[in-house]
Structure 1
Amino acid sequence: MNNTATATAAQPAVPAAFIPYRQFVTWRLIQRPGEPKPRKVPFDPKTGLPASVNDPGTWADHATAIAAHAAGGCNGIGFVFTEADPFVFVDLDDCADPATGQWNAQAQAIMAALPGAWEVSQSGKGLHGVGRLLDPAQLADKRRKFNGVEVYPHARFMAIGGGGWHGEPAQDWTATLAGWVPDVEKLGDFPAVDWADAPREGYDGPADDDELIRRATTGKTPLARMGLLAPFSALWTADGTVLGQYWPDESRAFDHSSADLALANALAWWTGCNPARMLRLFMRSALWRDDERKARLAIAKAIADPNRSYFSRTQRLRDDERIGDDLAADAFPEVLTLEQATADLVFIGNGSLVVSRRSKRSRSKADAVNEWAASKHAIDTGKIDKWGAPVIKEVPVIGAWLASRDRRSADVLAWVPGDGEFCRSPERAQAGDRAFNLWTPPTVLQPPDDWMDRVQPFIHHIAYLVPIEAERVRFTQWLAHIVQRPGELPHTAYLMFTPKTGTGRGTLASILTRVLRGYVAANVSADTLFGAYNGRLSMKLLATVDEVREGNSRERWTKAEQLKSKVTEEFRHLNPKYGAQSVEKNCCRWLMFSNHPDALPFDNSDRRIIVIENPSECATADWYARLHDDMNDPAFIASVQHYLATLSLHGFNPHEHAPMSAAKAKALASLVTDAEDAVRQFQREWPGDLAFVSDLHRFVADDAKSEDWCRHEATRAGMRTGERFKVNGRWERVLIVRGQLTPDDLAGGATRPQVRDAVIQARAQFAFGA
C-alpha cells in the first residue's frame, strides 16, 4: 500500500476528517510482567494520566495531542471511536507476508472492498482502516472479532501508526460490513443446554471440584499433550506469557475470547461435559470477567457436539485398544529399485504374497505389481543401436525381482515370538514348513538413569492390587515372563475380582498396554474369549478383559471346556469377522477383571485360572492421579519396561498349575447355584447306593433344570449313570449315588428287578421336599 499522506516525528499524520473531533489521546508501549509483548496503553494528553475509552474527560483535541507528542514521553497519538462520531474502525493483524512484506490476499481483498482511509499499524505487520458508518444499528448484533479481523464502531481507541495515511474516511461502509461481518453468537445458535449438575454417561473423573482442579492443573487433556491447546494451568491462572503464544492480541496480553473457549473445552473434558459444574469452575478461574453470558456461550459451544470426547472410562478403553494394536512400521516405498526389493522383500509361496522384511506388511503378488508399476529396472539387452550405443530396456522391478536368483522366498507366513526371521512353521502344512516370521519384538524405550525411582508407582500399585506377597511375586514374574520370554506360553491365566469399582485395575491394564504397545488385545469382550470371532487375538502377547461374568451363564459348562483350551492351546485357529482364517502359534496370556466372584466357569479341578481378590477399598485420589499422568510419560513406561525385563524369574515355573487359594475357593463357592447345591445334598442324604435320575430331578425341584441337566450335574458331583429301562411304564435311568458298583455291573436285564427294588426301598426312607 502506498501512503499519500506522510508524517513527521513531531506531527503524526491523521485523516483530516478526525481533526474536528475532541477524541484524541496519546499512547505508550508498556511491557507488563508475564505478557509476551508490550501493550499499547492510552494516556490523557492534558495530564499524562491513563485514559479510558469510556471517559471523555481523559481525551483532548488534535492540537493538544500533537503538542503532548512533541513534548515527548509517548510513542504516538490515538483516536477514540464513539457512538457520536460517524466512523468505524477495521483492524487487520499480522497480514504482512514475513518473507516479502506484501499484504496477504485477505488484506488486499478487504482494502479493495472498503475504500477509505488506511494506514500501516505501529508494528508494521498490520493495517488500520477507517470508513463511515451512517447506520450503526446494522452492526449492533455483529461480532467484533472474526478470522483475524476486528471491527469497532465505538468504545475502542486506535493507536495511530505514524507512517501516514492513504485516502480519507469519506465512503459509507455500512452495507458492506453488515453483509460481511458475522452475527454475534448466541446461546440459541447451539443445541439447548440443560444446566443440570450432571456429567454425561461414562464420566470417570474426580467428583470433588478442588480435586478436579488439582488433577487438571497437573495433568493434560489429549489436545494439550499434543501441544494443540494451552496447558490448563495457564488457562486457570490467565497466564499471559503462555496464552499470548497461542492467542496473540495486539492490544492485550492475549485474545481473551479464544482463551475463554479453550478453558470451556478443557473443562468439558475434565467434567464430562457437565454444564453447571463447568460454569461453577469457570467463575473460579482467573479468566472470569464477571460476564455470565459470555461464559455460558463458551460452555454451550464447547459441549455442542454430542459425541465429543471427555474424561471417561470409555475413552480410556478406546485409547487402550488403539495403543494395543499400534505397531510402528515403515510404509512401503512408492518407488522401488531392484536393490531395495532384493534387500527388503520376501516371496511367500502359499498364497503368492510379497512381504516386507522391515514393515512386515504383505501384498498379493498382483497387488504388488500394480503398486510398484512405476518402479522400473534398466537392463542391458546386449544389443547395439545404429550409433553403436548399448540398447537399454526398462522392465518392472517386481518382475525382475521375481526372476532374480537373489530373491528371498519362504513357504508360509508365521508368527513365532522369540524365533528367527526365517523359521519352521509352527503347524506343518502341505505348502511346506519354511516360514517367514512376522514377529517383531516390542519397541524398547531407553530407561532413564533414575528408572528405579520412576517405576515405584507401578510396583506400589501392584502391591495394592495384590496384597498377598506370595501371589504378588508370582503375578509380577508372570508379567516379566511376557517381556523376557514372549514365545513361551505359561499354563495359567489370571482372574482378578472385587465388588469395588475404581480400584485401578483398568489403570494397570492401561500401563501394560503401553509397555507392550502393539501386542495387547485390550478390553476384549467375553465374545472374544468364548465366541466364534477371535481376530483381535492375532499376534498378541496379552489380552485384557475389562469385565467378565460368565460363571453362571446358561452355557456354563460348554464355556468351561472352551476356557480350558483358550488358555493353553498350542496353536490358535484365528477366525476374524472379516478376512481369511489362519493359524498361528498361541503366545497370548489372559488378564481378566470382574466385579463378581462368579466371573468364569470352572470347577475345583481347574489347573489354569489363578484367582486374586483385589481390595474392596480404593486408594487415594492423588495416587490414581499420579498413575494416570505417569502412564503418558515415556520415561515412566521405559522404566516399567526395564523393570520387567530385568526382574529375576528365579522360582517361576510357567508350567505350574494354578493353586487353590482362598480367593479361588470363594469364586468356586459363588459358582454353586441352589440347584447344584441340591444335587450335592441329594448325594449326601439319599439312603441307598442306587436311585433313578428322576429321583434327583424331583429333589432339585427346579422346572428350569431338565433330567439331562441332572444327569450331567450328577456326573460332575462324582455320581455315575447307567442304562435306561422301563419301570411301571416309565423309562428310568439308573443313578449310582455311591458305592463300588459300576454301570457295567448293572448292565443287562438280570439286575433290573434288584435295582428297582433297591430304589423303591430307598424312596420309602427319603423325605422329598423336606
Structure 2
Amino acid sequence: MTPPLPTRDTLPDTLLERDHWVGWRKQTRGGDETKVPVSVNGGYASATDAVTWTTFDEALAYARGGAADGVGFVFSTDDPYVGIDLDKCRTRETGETEAWATEIIDQLASYTEISPSGTGYHIIVRGSLPPGGNRTGNLELYEHARFFTMTGDHVDETPTTVADRTDELTAIHGAYFETQHTQSGTQTSNTPNITTTSSTVDTPGNDLTDEDVVERASNAANGPKFSRLWKGDTSAYDSHSEADMALCSILAFWTGGDTAQIDRLLRDSGLYRKKWDETHFADGSTYGEKTIERSVSGTSDFYDPSQWSTEVRRSSSRTDTTRTGRADHQTPHDPTSVTPTDSTKTATPRDTDTLERLKDLQSHLESVLEENERLHAELETERERRRELEAAVAAGDETDESDRGWSLFGWFRR
C-alpha cells in the first residue's frame, strides 16, 4: 500500500525551503521491492546530481499526478542535515516500538516521522557525523549522497522542527559503530544487528567523497559501464551477483579499497537488494561482505589522486598534443586522458597516427578488462554455489542433489 503524500503543514519549513526534492517510485529488483528516486522531468533522479532535484511543490505535484509514488528529500554536502533511518523496529498495526529505537528517538529529540512501510522511523537533525561506519543493520546514519522518502506522518511528542544534535550524533555513533571493533559480536534483542565489512587485504584508501567517486567513475574510460551498473542495469551479466561483483570491483579501484565506502555506495546504487545483508556463509559473513572482500582482494591497483597528478604532469611535459579532456576524472591507465600543455600547437600527422593507435589499444584493453571482470564474477558466483552446496551437505541436508553437480566449467548432469 502506498503511503499518503505529505503536505507543507506536516513538514519542517527548513526542509521545504531547499530545492532538494525528488519523486520516488517502487520497483522490484532481484525479487526485492525498492524505492528509486525519479526526476520531475522524467527518468531517474540521482542523490549526487542536483540538476535532477526540484522544489517540494513541484515534486508533490508530480506525485499527485500519478507519475511517482511519493516524494523524497536529498541529503548533500551543501546542507547541514543528517538523516537517521531506524528500520524494522515498529509494529505497523500497534505502533509498538523496540526499546533501542525509542531510546534514539528520545535522545535526538528532533523531527521524526514514520517511514513509508510503517515499520520504522526517519529522523532529521542538523549536525555532522564522525568518521567511520554509518550502518549497523537496522540503524543507518547519512548526511550526503542519499535521500529520505518523506511521509509527513509526524510522530507525536517529537519536535516539529529540525534540531541541532551534533553532540548526540557523536554519542550514538560511538555507542553503535565504534564499539563494533571491540565487541565480540554478541547482541541482545533490543539492539540492531551489527553488520561489518572487513578485508584481509592491506589497501591504501584515499580522501575521495562518495560524490567524487561517482563522478570520477562516471567520467572514466569505462564510465558508461559504471553508469549502467550504478542505475541497476544487469543486462550485460548472466546474474545479478555477477553485476554486483563488477560494480564493487570498479568501486574498489576508485575508493582505494575502502570497504566501508564501497558498502555505502553499493547501497545507494540501483543494484542494492535485501540479499546484500543476508548471512550466506558458515563464518557468519553476509553476501555483501563477501562480495566486497572478493572485489578488493581481486584488485591489484588502486586509484591514488596524488600519484595520478604526478603522472599527468610527467606525461604533459613529454607530449606535444592538442588533446583535451578531464584527466582528473580518468583512471591512471587511460593513455588518452592527458591534460594538454599548449592548446595552440597543431598536431602533426605522426601525432595523429599515434593518437589513433592509442585509442585502438585503449579500446582493446577495455574489452579485455571487461571480459576479465565478467569471468572473475562468473567464477566467484560458481564458488559461492559450491560453498552453499557443501554447507548443505555438511548440515545433513537430504535434498536430492542427484541432478546437480559443479565444476569450474559450469553445471552438468551426472
TM-score range, shorter chain: 0.3 to 0.5
Q: Which has the higher contact order (CA 8 A, sep 6+)?
A: 2
> As a proportion of its length, which structure holds more strand?
1
